[in-house]
Each structure stands twice: as structure tokens, then as C-alpha cells.
Chains A and B, each alone.
Chain A
Amino acid sequence: MNRRNALRNTGLLVGASALTPSLLALFQSCQSKPRLEWQPLFLTEDEARFVTAFVDTLLPATDTPGGLDVKVDIFLDKVFAEAYDAEAQQQVREDIAAFNAEATRQSGAPFADLKAEDRAAVFRTAEANSGKFNGQVWGTAVGVQEPVGFYRSLKLMALSAYLSSEVVGTQVLRYDPVPGGYDGCLPLGPEERIWSL
């Protein structure tokens, strides 16, 4: 159980005071799929479960918050809902379906329903089959950027969403909104983290 699940269960208990903990556990175990704990703006319930599983596999909670702790999945749904046009939205649905079809082919079930080691195997295959991003100059890819595929694109989106979240941006990374000066040769220790912003 990661910290996010602990929080979720606590929240669920508060809202379900009639149920004893043991009854609650029984209730949860009877469900074929874990319930989604948030209301997607764009994604279907199953698509949202995929995005949540993707983010959790990519960025699990360790000694630093995981992607789900900082609501990367909820933010990605918001991006699909509010930043994508209809064509891009349709593409997301097709990409998720295709990724799940591949997971089913490899491991027998959609990605969200796989065990950790099967999810890892699906990710390893996706890594091997995905293109890479070209270098960038001033926010623009240099050279001809070949399509990197859905896995690499969603990975970048999830990593960016993680880094741009308030918790990571202010507590995990070094947050210095007004540096006041420039030091072009700062010693860097082996464990030191990147600057936020």
C-alpha cells in the first residue's frame, strides 16, 4: 500500500461511517476492479484507470511522492479535456485502446488489471518500440522529429506534470523563484536535485 492509497482509504472510511472496517474490506474485495477515486472530465472510467496505472508504474511513490500523490493522472485528464481538440481527443482514446490491446496480447489483460511485474514487462516492450525525442533549441525540436509513439509522449506528459506540480515544485525540487543572481559554476553534490522552475 502506498501513501496515496492509505489516504484514500481513510477518506473513504470517513464517508462510510455505517460500515465497519472489516465490512469495508469485504465490500472492496468483492469488486472486480478497484474503484476510481476521482471524476474524470474526459476519460471514461476504464481509460482513467489506465492513466492512473500508467502514472503509478512510471512514477511510484518512493522516498519522494509518487505521480498519483501529486495527481498527475487527474491533471492529464484535464489536459485531454481542456487543451485537446476533438481530433486529438479521439486519438487519445484510440491510443489507450491500442496500448491495452497490446497489454492483453502480452499478458492477458488490460494494463490497469495487470500485476506489477506484468506492467513492467509491458513498459519494457513499449520502451523498446518507442522513438526518442530530438534535442531542443528554445523549445523547438531540432532536425526532423519522427513520431515517438503514444508511450513516449504520455511518459513526457506525465513527467512534466509531475515536475510542474506544486508539491514537487516547492518541496521535492529546489525552489528559488527569485534567484537574484547567476552563478555559472555551482558545485553539485551526488544527491543534489535540480532546480524547480
Chain B
Amino acid sequence: MANFNIDAQKDLTYDAIVIGSGISGGWAAKELCEKGLKTLVLERGRLVEHVVDYPTMNLDPWDMALRGGLTPEEKRKHYKGIRSGFIGKDTEHFHANDEENPYTEVKPFLWVRAHQMGGRSILWGKQTYRWSDLDFEANARDGHGVDWPIRYKDIAPWYTYVEKFAGISGEPLGLPQLPDSHFLPPMELNCVEKHLKERIEKLYPGRNLIIGRCAHLTVPHNGRGQCQYRNRCSRGCPYGAYFSSNAATLPAANATGNLTIRPFSIVQSIIYDDAKGKATGVRIIDAETNEAIDYSARIIFCNASTLSTTQILLNSRSSRFENGLGNDSGELGHNLMDHTYRIGAMGRVEGFEDKYYKGRRPNGIYIPRYVNIDEATKSDKFLRGFGFQGGAGRAGVMNAANEEAFGAALKEQLLQPGPWEFFITGFAECLPYHDNKVALNADVTDKWGQPTLAIDCEYKENEMALNRQIQADAVEMLEKCGVKEVVGFNNHHEPGYGIHEMGTARMGRDPKTSVLNAFNQVHAARNVFVTDGACMTSSSCVNPSLTYMAITARAADHAVSELNKLNI
């Protein structure tokens, strides 16, 4: 299919440069190309063409050496990312090489990175929820961080716009704190989840248990196939049934004829022209030849992922910006956020022993936020809130291993479904703290001699209070609903585990306290746009990727409008 144009040799000048090809970079590329701009996408890693470059997508366990296990050499290559629990032989090739790309944990921080075309859009969890004014007004309401320069009404049409292209399945509920998307048909709850939905919604007015809203197609959509329920998503989907840059936005960008994508392009810095008062291009290092090359463009979109974008901005120093491009406020690199998670409860559900399921659904249940959404639900223990993800299924091999049995009796148990289990795990909002930050570290360089990041971030008392409430509520809900052997857990980890890192180049109303304006333009370099997670002013408690998509499409529209008016 795609036949991407990767020849960036003959032309060093473009209308637009997009740094990064992940979930937001793919959107920037699509929007800018479709609006007629000759666009160069710079990708740090290799090309990954949809389907063609998904080597493990159809492998069964017995097809893989070590049935999916990793060798000590492979574990060393991912010595930081491995603790996420998400790296196996089936996906190892989509996770960054930590040995070549070190970073420093001033305080413990897990930074999961994916250095190839498509970035983490290949690997993401695909839960997709709109944010609401509960989120966009949060900072203004309680005084933490700075006020978002936008409100829900500004972004709502852009949510609709990206949802119509991406394909989001889910059920409309009309909840003010979790606005409905433009939905494809929802996936199905299993019978135990349906049972617990009834119990929770009866026992707890104001709480809902719903099927996850997700970027999986439940019907064919825009030339992509529907989900086949294999649950092998993070290997790349041969049907294109979940949204990724590779399956959706980059092929659309390519179809315009305006796209050039340059792999193995490590962005060293953005070039700023003091006289012109704007950025004029991007300097890269070719990852294979170490050659330095400058590309020029009228506008630059930064979509390298939250921390990588900020790393590039910090490394883009000029006489005008001695501390990094756009860092007049001193906020560049600060206010790093993530979501706490792995706190919740699990237990066993009785009465459904004669029920099973068919298909491996790549989705679970969601319990939307129900605290601090109005005066009646206000907590005196913490600010902001949390939601739960979870699901029900029948126990498998771990349960059999725990049985005090062996021999023929054990085999019988092993080959039949175990008890039904149900779990929920919370995702809590993290406040923006100035001292949760990243800085350039010239003492540790990457394979290409570039300074790396030192990450200095921790959760604080408000997040701990949220975590305590999550566990207490999870245990209580399960016990009241009749779940047996309920175990509460707090496997709270250092930030980064949520893989929802946000902030460090925040949007705001005032250039003195923020890096970006309401359209994601660097205040003092208006032809530079930041539309990945770095731009986020607060963190909400819901998954951020859909918001990155909407913000990116909105900013691209504004960028082209401003170009046409000769304002940038």
C-alpha cells in the first residue's frame, strides 16, 4: 500500500515540519497535508508501514522462541521500560532501546518510549474519553497551576471532528463530567459485568459502570476493518481495527501527495532567527550516518511526545532564548503530571459458573468519576478526582497453579475455566506542581552525543489522599455488590507508570506563567506549535490521547488560517 515518500534529500524546504509521528504527530501531518501544505514529518526511528511491518501480528505462543519470553540481552536493552510489564517478545521491537537512549531518574520515574513511525500509537491502551469543563476549569477553581486558556466549548467540535475519522466505540450516557463522543456501536459487557453494573448503579446513585469507550472499530469505518477480538493489538492490527498513526492518519496524509516522512531523524533543535523573530527550521542528526542537516519550514509542529518535545525545546537555545525556545516564563520543563494507577480491589463472583465468553475483547469496563463533581459530591480529603477501569473474566493458569492439586486432578481443573474474577483499578488526577520537572543533563549523553533528560518528579499528598480513597471505595463497592474474597490493593508506583505523562510546556493565558497560548503556539515564537502531551495545563483523571488529537486538529486549523492571513 502506502509507498511513503521518504526522499527528503532533494528538498530541504517545506511549508510545515512535524516533529514526531505518534498519535498527535500523525494528526498534525494529516491536517496540514490535507490543507495543502508540503509537510515533512521527522521520525526518530525506522519506518513502520501498516501491516507490512507488524512481524508478530499473527504469531501464536508456540511460534515464538521462548513462547514470548525475553532473553537477558533483550531485557538489558529495555532495562528501564521493562518494569512497565508491557514488554514481551511480541512487542519488544516497538519499545525504545534504553541503552542507546538513557535518562536520569532524580526521583524514580518510568518513561515508556517508542522510537519508530507511529510511536506509541501502536502500543497505546486505546481508551478514549472526552474531557469536560470539570477538567478545563479545575485549575481556575482550586488555584493549582494556571487556568486553561480554553474551555470545553472550544474543543467540543474538534472532538467530534477527530472522532468521526478515528472511530470511537461506546455508549452515550449524557454525563456532564464525561461528555459523550460521536460513537460507533459499543462493545459488549459480559454477563458478570452486566450483573455488577446493575448492582453498582442500584446501590450507588450517581455511579455508572459502562463498557470502555475506545478507539476500536466495532463496524467497518473509513476503509478500516472492524475488531476481530484477537486482543493482539499492540503487535499492530492487520485489520487496522484500532486507531494508530500507521493505520489511519499517516496513510491519509500520504494520500494527499503532500507528505514526506524522514525516518532516522533525531531532532537536535529548532532553529530560531532573532531578526525575523520566529523559528525558521529544524536541525536534525541522521541516526544512521550522524550527519547534521537543517530543514526549513514556515511552521513547526512539536509532537515528539511530552518529554521529548520539551527536551527539544530546552535544547533549542539562541541569544533570544538562552534557557530554551519559548522559555520566557521559566515554566518550560515544569509541571510534569501523570495518572496514579494500580490501586483498587479484586475478588471472586459466584453464580455464573455455567457462563463463559467467546472472543478476546481488547477493552474493559469504566466507572466514570463521581467525586468532586458538584457540591453534593465534594470531598474534604482531596482535590480533583478519579475513575476506574476494570473487568470480569474467568481465572486461568495462576489459579490452577495455586490449587493444592497435581496429577490427573489438576489437569481437569487446568483445562476448564476457573472462577469468575472481577477487578477495578483507579486512575487519579495529578496536580500540576512547579517542582515536578525535567532538565537537560549534559553529563549523560545518548548514542548520538546529545544531552539527555533528568526527570525529577513525585506524587504528593493530594495524590496519596486520592489513592487512599480509590482503594477504600473499590473494596467497599465490590463487597457491597456481593463479590467474594475481596482484596484491596495499592500497587501505587512512581510517576510514569500511568504512561500518561503530561505538561512541561503548558498552555495558559499569560506568557509570564505559561509556554503556549490558547492555540498551542509558543507565546514568543508563534510559528512553533506544541500539541502533544507537553501542552497540557492540568491532567484530568481520564485518558488524554483523544484530547491530544482534538487539540492538534484545532491547532493545525488555526495554523493554516494564520499562515493564510500572513500572521505567522
Residues of chain A touching chain B, judged by Cβ–Cβ distance below 8 Å, are 57-60, 62, 64, 75, 78-79, 82-85, 120, 123, 127-128, 132-143, 152, 155-156, 159-166, 169, 172-173, 176-188, 192-195, 197
Q: Please state if A135 and B356 are interface contacts (CB–CB under 8 Å).
A: no
Q: Please state if A186 and B407 are interface contacts (CB–CB under 8 Å).
A: no
B359 contact from A79, A169, A181, Cβ within 8 A? A181
Q: Which of B58, B411, B487 has the most A CB atoms < 10 Å from its CB?
A: B411
Q: Mark B416-449, 1 if CB is under 8 A from A, else 0.
A: 1100010101000000000000000000000000
Q: Please state if B402 and A137 are interface contacts (CB–CB under 8 Å).
A: no
A185 contact from B65, B190, B404, B415, Cβ within 8 A? B190
Q: How far is the CA of A134 from the CA of B491 in the complex (A)?
A: 12
Q: Please state if B356 and A182 are interface contacts (CB–CB under 8 Å).
A: no
Asked whether B60 is an interface residue with its Cβ less than 8 Å from the other chain, the reply is: yes
Residue of chain A at shortest CB distance from B230: A178
Contacts of B36 in A (CB 8 A): none
Q: Mark B72-98, 1 if CB is under 8 A from A, else 0.
A: 100000000000011000000000000
Q: How far is the CA of A162 from the CA of B61 in the complex (A)?
A: 11
Q: How far is the CA of A65 from the CA of B83 in the complex (A)?
A: 36
Q: Please state if B410 and A140 are interface contacts (CB–CB under 8 Å).
A: no
Contacts of B70 in A (CB 8 A): 83
Contacts of A163 in B (CB 8 A): 397, 414
Contacts A84-B72, A183-B358, A187-B354: A58 and B423 contacting too (C-beta < 8 A)?
A: no
**In the complex, how many angstroms separate the beta carbon of B433 from the nearest chain A beta carbon?**
27
Q: Please state if B65 and A169 are interface contacts (CB–CB under 8 Å).
A: no
Residue of chain A at shortest CB distance from B491: A142
Q: Please state if B66 and A79 are interface contacts (CB–CB under 8 Å).
A: yes
Residue of chain B at shortest CB distance from A78: B66
Residue of chain B at shortest CB distance from A178: B228
Contacts A140-B491, A194-B417: A187 and B355 contacting too (C-beta < 8 A)?
A: yes
Q: How far is the CA of A5 from the CA of B356 in the complex (A)?
A: 37
**In the complex, how many angstroms separate the beta carbon of B534 from the nearest chain A beta carbon?**
26
A-B contact pairs, 24 of them (CB 8 A): A60-B407, A60-B411, A64-B411, A75-B67, A83-B66, A83-B70, A83-B71, A120-B406, A123-B406, A134-B487, A135-B421, A137-B346, A140-B342, A142-B344, A143-B489, A143-B490, A155-B401, A181-B229, A185-B355, A186-B356, A187-B354, A188-B355, A193-B415, A193-B416
Asked whether B189 is an interface residue with its Cβ less than 8 Å from the other chain, the reply is: yes
Asked whether B566 is an interface residue with its Cβ less than 8 Å from the other chain, the reply is: no
Q: How far is the CA of A54 from the CA of B407 in the complex (A)?
A: 10
Q: Please state if B191 and A184 are interface contacts (CB–CB under 8 Å).
A: yes
Asked whether B361 is an interface residue with its Cβ less than 8 Å from the other chain, the reply is: yes
Contacts A83-B70, A181-B229: A140 and B85 contacting too (C-beta < 8 A)?
A: yes
Contacts of B72 in A (CB 8 A): 83-85
Residue of chain A at shortest CB distance from B63: A166
B401 contact from A57, A84, A159, A179, Cβ within 8 A? A159
A137 contact from B67, B342, B396, B407, Cβ within 8 A? B342
Contacts of B490 in A (CB 8 A): 143
Q: Please state if A169 and B407 are interface contacts (CB–CB under 8 Å).
A: no
**In the complex, how many angstroms separate the beta carbon of A154 from the nearest chain B beta carbon?**
10
Q: How far is the CA of A195 from the CA of B61 in the complex (A)?
A: 14
**In the complex, how many angstroms separate the beta carbon of B110 from the nearest chain A beta carbon?**
13
Residue of chain A at shortest CB distance from B86: A139
**In the complex, how many angstroms separate the beta carbon of B391 from the nearest chain A beta carbon?**
9
Q: How far is the CA of A180 from the CA of B239 in the complex (A)?
A: 11
Contacts A62-B411, A137-B423, A166-B62: A143 and B491 contacting too (C-beta < 8 A)?
A: yes
**In the complex, how many angstroms separate the beta carbon of B226 from the nearest chain A beta carbon?**
9
Residue of chain B at shortest CB distance from A84: B72
Residue of chain B at shortest CB distance from A180: B228
